[in-house]
Structure 1
Amino acid sequence: MEACQTPNSDANSGLKHYPLTPLRLLRGLACLVVYLSTAFMFLVYFSPVAAVLPRFFSIHYSRKASSFLFGLWLALWPFLFEKINKTKVIFSGETVPEKERVLVIANHRTEVDWMYLWDLALRKGCLGCIKYVLKSSLMKLPIFGWGFHIFEFISVERKWEVDETIMRKMLSTFTNPSDPLWLAVFPEGTDFTEQKCIKSQQYAAENGLPILNNVLLPKTRGFHACVEILRDSLDAVYDLTIAYKNRCPTFMDNVYGVEPSEVHVHVRRISLEEIPVSENECNTWLLERFHQKDQLLSDFIARGHFPDEGTEGDLSTIKCLINCTVVLAITAIFAYLAVFSSVWFKVYIILSCAYLACATAYNFRPSPIHHYVKGLLLGKKSC
């Protein structure tokens, strides 16, 4: 069996890209405080009026409003990565159109891969409509768990017998072609480690599957459910392959700006017609895609880059600064109102927090009033 290899990991690199100096530590902690405070203020002030109340009349317009506000806040992160931390995010492969409705699949190198999808989504005008299939334990995170619920991320237990019903129910609400959507799935189901790679290779050897060195065997059933239910409403599937220099970063590496030095994202746009309809053929297709990813990552290890680099330009510093200023100004106003204004603002915040906590805990989302009316009328007719 071939040995597992981790591109640009701790084993083949020395010191971190930037040392963790006191200045970087303070700057990182300050950024984290800013991001947490802005997230909290945006959620408690805007969720009731943009994401909850409009759903009683129109899920579509509720999603449009929440996508705009989510994108406004989420743009702070690419600003941190590319402008403050000076991480180079290098795109290669195909240039994809703006504002498409897509399913995104990617390899899972480390705990922060999902954050670098934001850099591509921002460039394509789709940052606010990105959603993830994520493990249910993340829904328990303070503040962020509320956001995951409000913005309709799909939480799973990573047990198909439990997750199938949940996934299909949520996916069925995403079939309106006019709703903005970037649904991101990591088919490996977990991030890559040496031990997980060895187990994956053992399973592959026992079952006559390809031996993969840089990715894990993909879990196919969730991907097939996404394609099956959303096929008629999607423009394409984006297949992203992610690699890092000089080592795979952690969340706090990103916060402090010590890693990574470069993030490489290879993009391939796939038409839905290329993906087989039957489950067995779709599973085989996904396995072949990950076999190709494995080879692509092996080439990256050897060459230090993906083919066809430079498909996306740099972010506009001016636009990033304007967006950051707007978010900070709104947060400052909200903070002032919460502390110094009428008691009713405090009541509003308490009620909003109570709703967000309960809705997240019990996975509650309101439906349009006409759905309730239709249900009542059908119930009367059946009587």
Structure 2
Amino acid sequence: MEVKDVEMRDRTQTPARLFRGLLCLLVLLLTAFMMLVFYGFISAIFVRVFSIHYSRKATSFFFGSWLAVWPFLFEKINKTKVIFSGEMVPARERVLIIANHRTEVDWMYLWDLAIRKGQLGYIKYILKSSLMKLPVFGWGFHILEFISVERKWEVDESTMRQMLSTFKDYHDPLWLALFPEGTDFTEQKCIRSQKYAAENGLPILKNLLLPKTKGFHTCVQDLRKCLDAVYDVTIGYKHRCPSLLDNVFGLEPSEVHIHIQRIPLDNIPTTENEVANWLMDTFSNKDQLLDKFHSQGHFPHEGTEGDLSTMKCLVSITTLLVLTSLSTYFTFFSPSGSKSMYYSPVPIWPSLPVSTFDQCQFSAVKNCLET
């Protein structure tokens, strides 16, 4: 108990943490904007006219460099311990990932696994449509080909199937991440989920919400022939679940535990009812695993992945800084700088309302990505 208190006191807010966090946040926002303005257009529209495969490779290169900043921030700057357990999964598989959704930043810690497997630029998420409308980041979600859902199956089915149909080329790496609970965990949501489970003869879960099965079944059904496996990922935090700002300022968590089970597609049934029952059983086992984590402080079979490579992160961050420096130079300081101030998209886009920007630019991105 004394050790825990020391760790928690050590992670209180300080002026140094506040300054460092604000500086990191500024760098992340500025580099994100410059990457989207210049290299997002190149990779997602210009290259895609000639080849979808090479468009995705270019997008992975450019945005993988930016995404690498986050694991570096978590593990190297904030000194958060990311501990992997369960099975050591192969590199460069095409997979569907299912994970519990304890807090708003669970999906960011999947990047810590993806960077170790060389798949950081190829990870895609199924996420609620409101996030796709965020300034800057929402534009990136479109370019990275995230699947937007309204969480109404009669609306989402056609969108999901259309996007999934573009992911079937086995030559394109793919990590597709799905949170079957559909929303992050809260005590109030858990009570409602348990009530529904009791009324319908379903497992009563203490650490999870009941999974929604239709989206998972659709992913498995549509991609079964072009996936290698499903990764069942369970995430646990010590000592408190973090928010986005906790991550940026290094306040929480002190440790992130990620347990992975690799499931071959042949082990997953084919009919919708059987898949639904399989997913319910999987979440029931996941709930028991989280019970043990909370009582023991760790998952079984730890140490399946090594520490994050500092050199790999530095190479990615150096690439990011070089790219953003070049784009900044050509925008403001090139010999034709006077023209670039009028014709480059940098001063023009922020002056447009978001709705106008969406109509005149990212409708083109979306249409291009959906072809």
Q: Same fold (TM over 0.5)?
A: yes
Letter in 2 for 1:226: C
What's 1:94 paired with?
87
State the number of aligned residues: 358
Letter in 1 for 2:362: T
- Structure 2 CA distance for partners of 1:330 and 1:55, relative to 1, 3 Å: closer
What's 1:147 paired with?
140
Letter in 1 for 2:220: V
Residue pairs, 1:218-297, within 5 angstroms: 218-297=211-290
Moved over 4 A (4+): 12-17, 350-356
What's 2:180 paired with?
187
- Structure 2 CA distance for partners of 1:14 and 1:93, relative to 1, 3 Å: closer
Q: Any stretches of 5+ residues in structure 1 without a counterpart? A: 1-11, 372-383
How far, CA to CA, are the matches of 1:194 and 1:99 in structure 2? 37
| 8 Å contact from structure 2 (residues 190, 209) kept in 1 | yes
What's 2:105 paired with?
112
TM-score of the pair, normalised by structure 1: 0.89
- Structure 2 CA distance for partners of 1:303 and 1:29, relative to 1, 3 Å: same
- 1:139 Cα deviation from its structure 2 partner: 1.0
How far, CA to CA, are the matches of 2:318 and 2:259 in structure 1? 32
| 8 Å contact from structure 1 (residues 17, 259) kept in 2 | no
Q: 2:193 aligns with which of 188, 200, 213?
A: 200
- 1:65 Cα deviation from its structure 2 partner: 1.0
Q: Which is further off, 47-56 or 344-353? A: 344-353
Q: Deviations over 1:67-97 (max 9, x none)?
A: 1211111101000000000000000000000
| 8 Å contact from structure 1 (residues 145, 360) kept in 2 | no
What's 1:214 paired with?
207
How far, CA to CA, are the matches of 1:180 and 1:325 in structure 2? 24
How far, CA to CA, are the matches of 1:288 and 1:275 in structure 2? 12
How far, CA to CA, are the matches of 1:254 and 1:305 in structure 2? 21
- 1:180 Cα deviation from its structure 2 partner: 1.3
What's 2:344 paired with?
348
Percent identity over the alignment is 64
| 8 Å contact from structure 1 (residues 44, 352) kept in 2 | no
Residue pairs, 1:47-196, within 5 angstroms: 47-196=40-189
- SS of 2:344's partner is helix
What's 1:33 paired with?
26
- Structure 2 CA distance for partners of 1:279 and 1:363, relative to 1, 3 Å: farther
Letter in 1 for 2:358: A
Letter in 2 for 1:322: V
- SS of 1:366's partner is helix
- 1:360 Cα deviation from its structure 2 partner: 3.4
Q: Deviations over 1:317-367 (max 9, x none)?
A: 222223222212321232222222224444232599589733435773327
How far, CA to CA, are the matches of 1:134 and 1:356 in structure 2? 22
| 8 Å contact from structure 2 (residues 7, 254) kept in 1 | no
How far, CA to CA, are the matches of 2:140 and 2:37 in structure 1? 10
Higher relative contact order (CA 8 A, sep 6+): 1
Q: Is residue 364 from structure 1 mapped to residue 359 from structure 2 by the alignment?
A: no
| 8 Å contact from structure 1 (residues 111, 250) kept in 2 | yes
How far, CA to CA, are the matches of 1:219 and 1:344 in structure 2? 53
| 8 Å contact from structure 1 (residues 13, 246) kept in 2 | no
What's 1:337 paired with?
330
Q: Is residue 315 from structure 1 mapped to residue 308 from structure 2 by the alignment?
A: yes
| 8 Å contact from structure 2 (residues 145, 369) kept in 1 | no
Q: Deviations over 1:211-250 (max 9, x none)?
A: 1000000000000000000000001111100000010000
How far, CA to CA, are the matches of 1:178 and 1:279 in structure 2? 28
- SS of 1:309's partner is coil
Letter in 2 for 1:21: T
How far, CA to CA, are the matches of 1:169 and 1:80 in structure 2? 35
Letter in 2 for 1:69: F
Q: Which is further off, 115-124 or 310-319? A: 310-319
Q: Deviations over 1:297-332 (max 9, x none)?
A: 000011000000000000122222232222123212
Q: 1:21 aligns with which of 14, 29, 34?
A: 14
- SS of 1:364's partner is helix
C-alpha RMSD over aligned residues: 2.1
How far, CA to CA, are the matches of 1:122 and 1:110 in structure 2? 21
- SS of 1:92's partner is strand
| 8 Å contact from structure 2 (residues 65, 316) kept in 1 | yes
